[in-house]
Amino acid sequence: MARICAITGRRPTKGKIIHRKGQSKKSGGIGTHITTLTPRLFRPNLQWIRVKLPNGGTKRMWVSVKAIKAGLVQKV
């Protein structure tokens, strides 16, 4: 099962790790240069919590911390 927030739909997004080499201009060099771009994933902060449903039941689901802090979810 993919780690996607059940409330907000937040999911992992693609990105890159940028490796730079060289001395910065600020410290007297000729500037840094990008040497490598490595793919990576930015994962959302998801918690596996028990959520109170509108019909009165409870269910465990992946919920982002942003949704919990915003009060979009009622924890049990």
Asked whether the beta carbons of 10 and 26 are under 8 A apart, the reply is no
Integer angstrom CA distances of residue 39 from 4, 11, 21, 43, 65: 20, 16, 18, 13, 25
**In sequence order, what are the beta bridge partners of 41?**
14
pLDDT number for residue 76: 87
First vs last Cα of the chain: how many Å apart?
A: 23
Res. 64 pLDDT band, cuts 50 70 90: very high
CA atoms within 13 A on the CB side of 22: 13
Domains of the chain: 13-70 (2.30.170)
Residue 2: pLDDT band with limits 50, 70, 90: confident
One-letter amino acid of 42 = F
Give 1's pLDDT tier (boundaries 50, 70, 90).
Answer: low
User: Looking at residues 21-35, what average pLDDT do you find?
Assistant: 97
